[in-house]
Structure 1
């Protein structure tokens, strides 16, 4: 991958990023007003930040409870072998499965945890069995934790409270 051009993260660019991170559908005019720039200057800065890779996609959260049947779960994976080739095989396999929406490599007893969304528990079990049954992946343990309730929804990183580079 080619190295992306760096953009200075001054106070205005930080505010642009913090705002569009939480409000990806904000109009350029409203964003310009919030960051105290002209719409043209704001548009140029936003494009430069995107081109430089400081943000790379926008999406809309949907209310799954209102539109479809589903089960959300965290699935923990422990590998028999934690070598780089073994990790790459596992990561390549999970990359092909859209139901495994987020996958994090962890320290401690569990090697990976994935946030999943499936049509039902049977489908979740089938996918976990498919992964754990693939001997080439070397999965020694799978723990599934079905989400019963979601009292707080992910609304983005607390960018304004983090130490900027």
Structure 2
């Protein structure tokens, strides 16, 4: 079921942009940045959280500095594109911590995965012990990222 869009005004957008840049920004600084005192600013944040616009707060880690420098993009084609097979694959992927992102796709492939690992041997283990053991996969095409040109988790709100 599609989620209902939330109506955001200019101040809400400023709050969201600031929190995307720094989720730990002190309330006083955030309020000053958006032109509100801390109390109304906090009230707006709580409304955005309750509406699900702010889904959660996280620390963004540098994958290289935590020993996971390899990003692999795997295109997966399933043998059958039936709802049950799609759900079974999605459930399996959700249990694999190496998979940071998984998208159901249109086109020639059914899924696109972003997988992070420490080295090529770790990817080989992931492939042999997890991915290829999942019943219903027709093919897997892996592409290794050579360089990360851009990465952001901030949505373009302007």
TM-score, reference length from structure 1: 0.84
Q: Is the 8 A contact 1:22 1:155 kept in 2?
A: no
Paired residue secondary structure (1:64):
coil
Note the C-alpha offset of 1:5.
9.9
Partner of 1:142: 140
Paired residue secondary structure (1:15):
helix
Show the 5 A alignment for 1:74-153: 74-129=73-128, 130-135=130-135, 138-153=136-151
Q: Is the 8 A contact 1:76 1:110 kept in 2?
A: yes
- Rounded Cα–Cα distance in structure 2 between residues aligned with 1:118 and 1:38: 45
Q: Which deviates more, 4-13 or 151-160?
A: 4-13
Partner of 1:35: 34
Aligned length: 155
Mark the CA change 1:35 to 1:75 in structure 2 (over 3 Å): closer, same or farther: same
Q: Is the 8 A contact 1:118 1:124 kept in 2?
A: yes
- Rounded Cα–Cα distance in structure 1 between residues aligned with 2:157 and 2:93: 28
Partner of 1:72: 71
Note the C-alpha offset of 1:6.
8.1
Mark the CA change 1:53 to 1:127 in structure 2 (over 3 Å): closer, same or farther: same
Partner of 1:163: none
